Amino acid sequence: ELAGELVLTGQAGPDDPAVLWALVGEAAQRDLPIRLGTLVHMQRAGAGRAAHEDWNREQFERVLGSGRNQISVWEALDTAGLLTEMIPRWAEIRNLPQRSVIHRHTVDRHQFEVASLVPSMVSVEGQGLETLTARRRSALLVSAFFHDIGKRPGFPDHGERGAEMIPDILEPMGYSGEVIGDVQLLTRQHLLLGDLATSEDPYDPATWKILSDAVGADPEMLVCLHLLTQADASSCKPEAWGPWKASLVTSLVSEAYSSLVHRPEQSA
């Protein structure tokens, strides 16, 4: 730390992806800015391309789990030209304007916002990020960061397109097929809860069945979808997540969750 900013020591290699990951991890955990000149120096030295080839899932998720601190970290990496080298397909949504007026941010910044809010969300029985299994914790964090990666002009179903893109993004990062499948599901279905809660009866078993089928009848995946939905909607303008809509979604999740955990085969 130098004058309130994080910089490299003389012994740290600016081309070393481990140094870059350590730098962004410390910045997020300690809520300290990284000196822009340091990041530009690392970009010119090839650290971003090296990080893409040697992805550090632990540090990536460390940043994703840091809450609001991470926004300035991702923005700094983007400004220095590192983020699109680390994640080449990020270039497809960089500075992309939103089509819906409920949004407050561009597509890329919106995903930073959603990722930053996920750690503070709570589901119907007090479940949150820290109560999830390791696999689902990874899936939720990663899906928050990539849930709108499929947005493009002329592609109305961005959830489906994003789900199709996820394997190409996550396989080089070394994620397991199980986590990739979970991220695909959450990306594909990230608008479902809000749509169902406002268009169908949240107390109707037929509505619970639609939701249950969408999450593979998995209560933990339903919790993940609820946490992602709250973070996604909360990052938009207030009319996207008022008390009325939030209560409808909560009621639907509560009823569907109860129906899943108390199924006859579960009780047996």
User: CB–CB of 72/33 below 8 Å?
Assistant: yes
- Judged against a pLDDT cut of 90, whether residue 68 lies above it is answered with yes
Residue type, 42: M
What's the mean pLDDT in 150-173?
91
Name the band, by pLDDT with cuts 50, 70 and 90, for residue 266: very low
The answer to whether 159 and 240 are in contact (CB under 8 A) is no
Only one residue has tokens 């009823």, namely 255
Model confidence, pTM: 0.93
> Between these two residues, 105 and 260, which has the higher pLDDT value?
260
SS3 readout for 80-98: CCCHHHHCHHHHHCCCCCC
**Among 132-136, 144-148, 235-239, which is the least confidently predicted range?**
235-239
CA pair distance 47, 85, nearest whole angstrom: 9
Report pLDDT for 265. Answer: 55
CA–CA separation, 223 and 129 (whole Å): 10
Q: What is the largest CA-CA distance in the chain?
A: 64
Joined together, the tokens standing for residue 83 give 């983020």
Nearest to 193 by CA among 127, 126, 252: 252
Q: What are phi and psi of 121, to 5 degrees?
A: -80, 150
For the chain, what is the HEC assignment?
CECCEECCCCCCCCCCHHHHHHHHHHHHHHCCCECHHHHHHHHHHCHHHHHHHCCCHHHHHHHHCCHHHHHHHHHHHHHCCCHHHHCHHHHHCCCCCCCCCCCCCCHHHHHHHHHHHHHHCCCCCCCCHHHCCHHHHHHHHHHHHHCCCCCECCECCHHHHHHHHHHHHHCCCCCCHHHHHHHHHHHHCCCHHHHHHHHCCCCCHHHHHHHHHHCCCCHHHHHHHHHHHHHHHHCCCHHHCCHHHHHHHHHHHHHHHHHHHCCHHHHC
Mean pLDDT of 234-255: 87
Q: What is the mean pLDDT of residues 104-121?
A: 92
Provide the pLDDT confidence category of residue 101 given band limits of 50, 70 and 90. Answer: low
